[in-house]
Amino acid sequence: MTYQNCLKHIESIDANNYKPDHENSLRLMTYLGHPEENLKVVHFAGSNGKGSTIQFIKHIMMEAGYSVGSFMSPHILSPLELVSRNNEPISENQFQTAFTKVLGACESIVKDGYPHPTTFEILTAMAIVHLADEPVDLALIEVGMGGRYDSTNVFSNPLLTVITSIDYDHQQWLGSTLNEIAGHKAGIIKKNVPTILGPNKLEVVQVITEEVREKGGKLYLLDQGLIHVKTLMQTINHQLFHIKSPHFDYKALQMTMIGEHQYQNLAIALLTVKHLRKYYNITSSHIKKGVKSTSWTCRNDIISKDPLIMLDGGHNSAGVEAMAQLIESRFSDKNVLTVFGVMKDKAHEDMLNLIQNFSSDVIITEPLSPRKLNIDDPSLKDYELKYSDYKEALKKALELVDSKTLILVMGSLYLAYPAKEWFITELESD
């Protein structure tokens, strides 16, 4: 079966198979011979910050000479993006190999009278099979949605559980309150496995604390007030700083990941690495070099200085609030022209209310996804600049830009990724 045939087969799976439990995934692991048991795993849940935190840890571990696998979703342009080893995505041949194994297990499952696994359950299983076969020294696994019933929740004994910032997200599946959402995220906590919790609201901390207590584990809490940062120097895309908490103290770290929220993500990563040092030889030099080399596309990503263009995949109110802080601290002298496109299941009106506070103009467009919010949605009737084609929206932004303007593209990774490709091609051709 060719790579393209694999994709066609995956895309043909009935999306209606999804239900909020993970029995299919557990069953799939059994039929595959439990490849998950061959992996040393750190399991991540949260609404914001998972990707950046994973990137910090990945680069630190790579500096220490270890092979690091990761499974991170969603993919934007290609499913090959989902799985990587040392930041190199899975190849088409490796994708085919993993798919063939998982497809065989799926056929056996159906033959035995059980439901066919869903697309995401298959992709998750493929990632686990690939990373187990590779093999890798450490696997960093990000949940797709929630946690308790997520298809990644098949690891009975991970090295660590890490939960980043939790906010309102996927309410149609996870619930309408932070308590309900946090309850889903808490489902990845395992018996006697340490849990690291990043800065969160009190109700979230209470839910996670109770889950850890019930599981007999130990909770390592990083409250915002426990993270102390002293900035020594900063430019548009670089910062030099000290950072400490009750768990660690590092001097003169450098990073290109900008924004106050990245200090929070880094703190979670540093605490995670502190625990990983029980199993791996990681020095302070590895940590400094790893932090400095970390980058993460389309997360406060400055892709041009003339004109000044920044891309961000922030897709909820917390992401917009983090952007507002960044604008205030780094770009207060700029007029902000925001190109905004979002998924229809997001709280886009709340996001736009926040965006208008720091934007001189807003251009509405549509991300590259079937789940996009259309520009003719009644809630967007008061916006004059609207383009269904994101390329037309970006062209309009370039027409309006001047030396005092920052073009900001945000609302979804399904907008930020293709926008980055388009901008790079467009600016190189000028």
CATH for 87? 3.40.1190.10
Distance between CA atoms of 375 and 355, rounded to whole angstroms?
Answer: 17
Tell me: pLDDT of 229 over 90.
Answer: yes
Same domain, 371 and 231: no
Give the structural domain span for 416.
Answer: 301-429
Give start and end residues of each alpha helix (H) in 223-382.
Answer: 260-276, 284-293, 317-330, 348-358
Same domain, 373 and 260: no
Same domain, 239 and 127: yes
* Average pLDDT of the chain to the nearest whole number: 92
Question: Which is nearest to 7 in space by CA: 84, 88, 95, 87?
Answer: 95
What pLDDT was estimated at residue 237? 81
Distance between CA atoms of 236 and 91, rounded to whole angstroms?
Answer: 35
Same domain, 422 and 306: yes
Degrees (nearest 5) of the Cα angle 341, 408, 198? 85
Question: Which is nearest to 22 in space by CA: 128, 102, 118, 108?
Answer: 118
What's the pLDDT band for 170 if we cut at 50, 70, 90?
Answer: low
Q: Across residues 144-149, what is the average pLDDT?
A: 88
Same domain, 158 and 30: yes
Same domain, 44 and 107: yes
Kindly give the interhelix angle for 317-330 and 260-276, rounded to the nearest 10 degrees.
Answer: 110
Domain end, chosen from 293, 310, 339, is at: 293
Domain end, chosen from 230, 264, 293, is at: 293
Is there a contact between 355 and 385 (Cβ–Cβ < 8 Å)? no
Classified as helix, coil or strand, 139 is strand
Same domain, 192 and 176: yes
Distance between CA atoms of 227 and 398, rounded to whole angstroms?
Answer: 39
Same domain, 264 and 316: no
Same domain, 98 and 47: yes
Name, of 8-12, 137-141, 413-417, the range with top average pLDDT: 137-141
Q: How many angstroms separate the Cα of 422 from the Cα of each of 217, 220, 417?
A: 47, 42, 9
Same domain, 425 and 324: yes
Same domain, 56 and 146: yes
Q: Which helix (H) or strand (E) holds 365?
A: strand 361-365
Is there a contact between 228 and 239 (Cβ–Cβ < 8 Å)? no
Q: Across residues 201-220, what is the average pLDDT?
A: 94
Domain end, chosen from 247, 277, 293, is at: 293
Tell me, what DSSP letter sits at residue 81?
Answer: G
User: How many domains does the structure of the chain reveal?
Assistant: 2
Same domain, 229 and 320: no
Tell me the two tokens of residue 327.
């604008």
**What does pTM read for this prediction?**
0.90
